[in-house]
Amino acid sequence: MDPEEVPIIREGSFSSTPESTLAQSQEHLGQTINELQHKLQDMKVLQDFTSTLMLFHQGVDEILWDVARLAVARLGLEDCVIYLCDHENGELVQCSAYGPKNPHERQILNPIRLRIGQGIVGSVAASGKLEMIADTRKDPRYVCDDQPRLSELAVPILNDGKVIGVIDSEHSQLDFFTPWHRDIFLAIAAMAGSRIAAARFEQERYRLATQDPLTGLANRGELMRELKSRLDNATSTVAVILLDLDYFGDMNDSRGNDAGDELLRAISERIQKQSPAGSLVARSGGDEFVVVLNVDLEQSKVESEKLRECISQVFAEGSLVGLHIACSAGISVGINGNSAEDILNQSNFAMYEAKRKGRGQMCVHDSVMANHRRREQRIVQDMVRALESNSKAFNFHIQPIYSLPSCKIVAAEVLARWMHPELGPIGPAEFVLAAERTGNIHLLGETIFAQAFECIHKWKSNVQGILFHVNVSPIQIQKEQFVPQLLRQLEKAQVPPNMIACEVTESALLGDEALALRVLDSIVQHGMKLVLDDFGTGYASLSTLMRYPFSSIKIDRQFVKGLPHEASARTIVSTVLALSREMDLVCTAEGVETNAQLQVLQDMGCPLIQGRIFSDAVTPDAFEKILQSR
Ligand code: C2E
Ligand code: CA
Ligand code: CA
């Protein structure tokens, strides 16, 4: 109560007689008290709204339901409906409604959509001015439905001077709404306006922090939070299905990034539609998607197959028409207390296993895989330690390459070896892959080259006419500094570059093709030879390979293995030999083990062979002895 208002009543009483003055004062006082009581009541009503609006809300919808419910309960209304503007479509959308027309609590079965400008509510949205209609029958704008009402109050909800919605109430009584209703509605609309804006801002901030902008799916951060929460609260199993598209990179390269984005969006829609209710669907990066479900292993396999099936459907319309893309899936299942990182890593590992087995399939993380993974982790750890400490655990063996028919040593291939202090010898097929995956391949390459070049220098007097082949990983080729570094090592060891040949596989030509071409050219320009390794295992045709400065190719041992009996192997080997003669490429057959293989290769005119039939890969000391006994 404001005490300053009291003397104003006394002032008005001076001109009257004392008796009437007293009576008048009492009447004034009565009125004032009455008014103040009303004001107090209004304040209480408004306070109810303020405190309700200040409660924690999940989002804008929840705020609107609370406002509508309170309006009906506290203002004695028959109904209260709140619309929000959809400015993009020029529409108002009904977002909450309490009253007989919508008997469902917090749920609208068929939300009304009005054009902005249509009806009384639409006019309020268009003009930004409130409407208080005493008799709706006299207002042509009133939209009659099956339950017409006689009076109406509609107030705009504003934010920053812009209409963002309308609060509306209708009543079956004529002239029901009073200035009191109007003022309270205005106050509620003002409070709701700023609260909605704040909630929207918060929602947007949350969306940006948790959503992948391209697909609208959960991003990696959100995936980790949600998976952790599901595992922490799990009463049964939580399955993680990781889906990775096969050859997405190729399709991105051939059709362009826009088509790639389009494909990712289309695939994300398919995954969302196919995933059972309650699943979390995330894009964890690139072309990798994750579906988290509260199911057991058997059910997760069924779901994973359904997902793979639906992803690989051919696109029947739109810009992707005719395209189809397969995917590989990895599954891991966790229980309460498991770490989200572990479960996700496991499904990632299972997915890699599916890729390794030839893609387009599903693998489940199991104990064999777990052991494999532990071994890989250990190998990576120990490899880094061994390489950095420059220990002699890493060294090389060397395998002679012979010319036919003379059977003279004309070259030798340097092959990396690792003697692990506890695990024993580990083959390069295993550790080279781990080194490539973890970026240690550069250091590994340098370590092997340094030792090999040192030996070559030492053998100088014995190795005239012998070309030393070193293996170069595709990842090394994708580094501009590769050749300068190699030349520095050669110079340091005093080995002329023309004694060296670099063996690369076709996968070296993928990735940044221009960079690969620059690096390969530079190898040749500096006097080294360039050899295409494992020919026939990739996709490139000989004519594509002619764009690169190869002087020699090695026929993969899988074809040599089929000789002399398999007709297909014979055809492939003889065709490659004929073509390479035509193209002036020297051919080496790898993995020659038997006399029969040797004989047929010689008959076909294969100029060079490498394999156990003459010599396995041997230690540098053993190789030195071979050289001396020539
Ligand atoms: P690759 O370059 O194709 O090497 C030939 C592989 O065949 C070697 O296996 C060799 O020991 C094996 N081999 C030789 N003759 C025969 C035979 O008659 N029969 C059979 N079955 N195999 C034979 P290794 O040493 O295990 O190397 C495997 C792969 O590891 C190599 O295949 C190469 O791709 C990679 N690698 C080896 N050393 C290095 C290296 O220093 N750097 C890089 N980046 N990769 C390397
Ligand atoms: Ca090789
Ligand atoms: Ca090879």
Answer yes or no: is pLDDT of 43 > 90. Answer: no
CB 495 within 8 A of CB 453: yes
For residue 531, give the H/E element and its range: strand 529-535
CB 600 within 8 A of CB 572: no
CA 275 to chain centre: 17
Nearest ligand to the CA of 452 is 1
Ligand 1, atom 16, residue with closest C-alpha: 591
Ligand 1, atom 22, residue with closest C-alpha: 591
Ligand 1, atom 8, residue with closest C-alpha: 415
Q: Are residues 250 and 399 in the same domain?
A: no
Predicted local confidence at residue 4, as pLDDT: 37
Q: Could you tell me the distance, in angstroms and rounded to a whole number, from the CA of residue 589 to the centre of ligand 3?
A: 9
Q: Which amino acid is at 39?
A: K
Answer yes or no: is pLDDT of 15 > 80. Answer: no
Measured CA angle at 580 (ends 578, 584), to 5 deg: 125
Residue 54 — pLDDT band, cuts 50, 70, 90?
confident
Q: Are residues 406 and 547 in the same domain?
A: yes
- Maximum distance among all Cα pairs of the chain, rounded to whole angstroms: 144
Answer yes or no: is pLDDT of 278 > 80. Answer: yes
Answer yes or no: is pLDDT of 21 > 80. Answer: no
**Residue 21 domain-assigned (yes or no):** no
Q: Could you tell me the distance, in angstroms and rounded to a whole number, from the CA of residue 394 to the centre of ligand 1?
A: 15
**Residue 371 domain-assigned (yes or no):** no
Nearest ligand to the CA of 473 is 1
Average the pLDDT over 30-36 and give the result. 86
Average the pLDDT over 106-116 and give the result. 86
Average the pLDDT over 360-381 and give the result. 89
Q: Could you tell me the distance, in angstroms and rounded to a whole number, from the CA of residue 508 to the centre of ligand 2?
A: 13
Q: Could you tell me the distance, in angstroms and rounded to a whole number, from the CA of residue 501 to the centre of ligand 2?
A: 10
Predicted local confidence at residue 499, as pLDDT: 98
Q: Are residues 340 and 396 in the same domain?
A: no
Q: Are residues 400 and 353 in the same domain?
A: no
**Residues flanking ligand 1, CB < 6 Å:** 399, 415-416, 427-429, 432, 445, 448, 471-473, 533-534, 557, 590-593, 611-612, 617
**Residue 98 domain-assigned (yes or no):** yes
Predicted local confidence at residue 3, as pLDDT: 40
Q: Are residues 431 and 498 in the same domain?
A: yes
Q: Are residues 266 and 201 in the same domain?
A: no
Q: Could you tell me the distance, in angstroms and rounded to a whole number, from the CA of residue 348 to the centre of ligand 2?
A: 29
Sheet with 280-285, edge to edge strand ranges: 280-285, 288-293, 238-245, 327-334, 362-364
Tokens of 554: 């090695």
Predicted local confidence at residue 542, as pLDDT: 67
Among residues 148, 175, 207, the one where a domain terminates is 207
**Residue 250 domain-assigned (yes or no):** yes
Q: Which amino acid is at 300?
A: S
Q: Are residues 336 and 460 in the same domain?
A: no
**Residue 490 domain-assigned (yes or no):** yes
Ligand 1, atom 41, residue with closest C-alpha: 416
Answer yes or no: is pLDDT of 67 > 60. Answer: yes
Q: For residues 555 and 540, what is the distance between their CA atoms, to the nearest angstrom?
A: 14
Answer yes or no: is pLDDT of 10 > 80. Answer: no
Average the pLDDT over 257-286 and give the result. 95
Average the pLDDT over 559-563 and give the result. 95
HSE, side-chain direction, 13 A CA sphere, residue 162: 8
Q: Are residues 546 and 518 in the same domain?
A: yes
Q: Are residues 594 and 484 in the same domain?
A: yes
Output the average pLDDT for the chain: 91
Q: For residues 623 and 630, what is the distance between their CA atoms, to the nearest angstrom?
A: 11
Q: Which of 402, 415, 608, 614 to mutate to test the pocket of ligand 1 (most atoms within 8 A of CB)?
A: 415
Q: At 419, phi and psi to the nearest 5?
A: -100, 105
Helices 60-75, 179-210: inter-axial angle, 10-degree rounding: 160
Average the pLDDT over 484-512 and give the result. 93
Average the pLDDT over 378-400 and give the result. 92
Could you identify the atom of ligand 1 that is nearest to the CA of residue 534? 3
Report the range of poorest mean pLDDT among 7-21, 53-67, 173-187, 360-374.
7-21
Report the range of poorest mean pLDDT among 173-177, 533-537, 567-571, 574-578.
533-537
Among residues 139, 173, 207, the one where a domain terminates is 207
Q: Based on the structure, what is the number of domains in the chain? A: 3
Q: Are residues 474 and 617 in the same domain?
A: yes
Predicted local confidence at residue 41, as pLDDT: 82
Residue 573 — pLDDT band, cuts 50, 70, 90?
very high
Q: Are residues 201 and 277 in the same domain?
A: no
Q: Could you tell me the distance, in angstroms and rounded to a whole number, from the CA of residue 531 to the centre of ligand 1?
A: 14
- As residues whose CB is below 5 A from the ion ligand 2, the structure lists 471, 503, 533
Q: For residues 535 and 538, what is the distance between their CA atoms, to the nearest angstrom?
A: 7
Report the range of poorest mean pLDDT among 15-24, 102-111, 367-376, 417-426.
15-24
* Closest among 142, 185, 151, 139 to 165, alpha carbons compared: 185
Answer yes or no: is pLDDT of 611 > 90. Answer: yes
CB atoms within 10 A of CB 464: 7
Average the pLDDT over 308-330 and give the result. 92
Q: For residues 273 and 285, what is the distance between their CA atoms, to the nearest angstrom?
A: 20
**Residue 379 domain-assigned (yes or no):** no
* Closest among 117, 126, 122 to 94, alpha carbons compared: 122
The CATH number covering residue 73 comes to 3.30.450.40
Average the pLDDT over 397-401 and give the result. 98
Q: Is 126 or 250 the better-scoring residue by pLDDT?
A: 126
Ligand 1, atom 4, residue with closest C-alpha: 415
The CATH number covering residue 434 comes to 3.20.20.450
Predicted local confidence at residue 8, as pLDDT: 33
**Residue 8 domain-assigned (yes or no):** no
Q: Could you tell me the distance, in angstroms and rounded to a whole number, from the CA of residue 425 to the centre of ligand 1?
A: 14
Q: Which of 471, 535, 588, 615 to mutate to test the pocket of ligand 1 (most atoms within 8 A of CB)?
A: 471
Contacts of 54 (CB under 8 A, 6+ apart): none
DSSP 3-state of 399: strand
**Residue 11 domain-assigned (yes or no):** no
Predicted local confidence at residue 182, as pLDDT: 95
- How do residues 132-179 score in pLDDT, each as one tens digit? 999 999 999 998 877 889 999 999 999 999 999 999 999 999 999 999
Could you identify the atom of ligand 1 that is nearest to the CA of residue 617? 11
Predicted local confidence at residue 17, as pLDDT: 65
| Residue-range definition of the domain harbouring residue 124 | 36-207
CB 226 within 8 A of CB 280: yes
Q: Could you tell me the distance, in angstroms and rounded to a whole number, from the CA of residue 41 to the centre of ligand 2?
A: 90
Average the pLDDT over 206-222 and give the result. 94
Q: Could you tell me the distance, in angstroms and rounded to a whole number, from the CA of residue 421 to the centre of ligand 1?
A: 22
- How do residues 504-544 score in pLDDT, each as one tens digit? 998 888 777 889 999 999 999 999 999 999 988 776 666 66
Q: Are residues 353 and 273 in the same domain?
A: yes
Among residues 146, 179, 207, the one where a domain terminates is 207
Average the pLDDT over 193-215 and give the result. 91
Answer yes or no: is pLDDT of 9 > 60. Answer: no
Could you identify the atom of ligand 1 that is nearest to the CA of residue 436? 44
Answer yes or no: is pLDDT of 11 > 50. Answer: no
Q: At 530, phi and psi to the nearest 5?
A: -125, 125
Average the pLDDT over 404-430 and give the result. 95
Average the pLDDT over 312-338 and give the result. 92
Average the pLDDT over 227-249 and give the result. 95
Highest mean pLDDT, choosing among 27-36, 101-110, 371-380, 619-628 = 619-628
